[in-house]
Chains A and B, each alone.
Chain A
């Protein structure tokens, strides 16, 4: 197991979990998250959505969810 933080919540996940798997685990705890409309940041770096299944989470990764604003 490794420990990561997701929006400052601590999350224990299996080693070699992908970012997508980590997100799915977190979303199970936080059903209010609208998965279709978010971006993910890993250690201050935005991770393109196509890479979520490929990126393997590392112990102590700091992951954040944020969403676009569109107003002008």
Chain B
């Protein structure tokens, strides 16, 4: 028996349900899905808005930053009245205003291997979701050390990762899913550096460039939930000057210290709650 949507849900998501690739069953999947967004800046705010509007059931937002004036040209979920306040809390308020059906959990933490374990240990919901593999992780962070840490944690936890980045006029996007597509490798198979790559604070960026990459990240997330994608072994690269996307084929690094180590190991389990 197909899961049924309420009349209100059918009305709200009608244009999505109309798609034969979505239908009621697909919308039901979106309504049941949990997504963890790491970094609620330019990418994170846009992707959170799009996923909430699409009816994702539960967003988990993680960031320790506060809203600054310089964020406003591209982080359009925030306004002047949010300056100095927690980004995740302001985002939760704004998202609830737009679509109160999406639940939003907030974690005022900067992602590290240590803090994510602490967050999980304090959240039985997150812990259960990770154990049940019902969580998709979106990397919207702004530095290379965090990107490598997020990738490592996702591989260890056997969670799918959709990683997006944008600086100046360039964007990069990739899906890491070592459970269904180990041949494509992980983030570390493409970028080994731990050093700080170029970021927006140094190089600048335009809001629409960020929004374009974030939209692709949101679209990739929805397609992944609905299992509409063929195995994605590409690195998608956006050139905002030429307004073009390009695809490069990824492959697993046979000596990758991240995904090769965990390829044949059981996924890491969160620590038991005390």
Contact = CB atoms under 8 A, between A and B. Distances in A.
A29 interface: no
Q: Is the interface of B mostly helix, strand, loop or mixed?
A: mixed
Given A70-B147, A72-B141, A36 B193 contact: yes
Contacts of A45: 248-249, 251
B198 A48 contact: no
A71 B248 contact: no
Q: Is the interface of A mostly helix, strand, loop or mixed?
A: mixed
Size band of the A side of the interface? 10 to 19
B140 interface: yes
Interface residues of B, number: 46
Contact of B140 (A46, A47, A72): A72
Contacts of A31: none
18 contacts: A36-B195, A46-B248, A47-B251, A50-B255, A50-B256, A67-B197, A67-B198, A68-B165, A69-B166, A69-B198, A70-B142, A70-B199, A72-B43, A72-B44, A72-B165, A72-B166, A72-B199, A72-B200
Interface of B: 39, 41-44, 139-144, 147, 164-168, 170-172, 185, 189-193, 195-201, 203, 205, 235, 237, 248-256
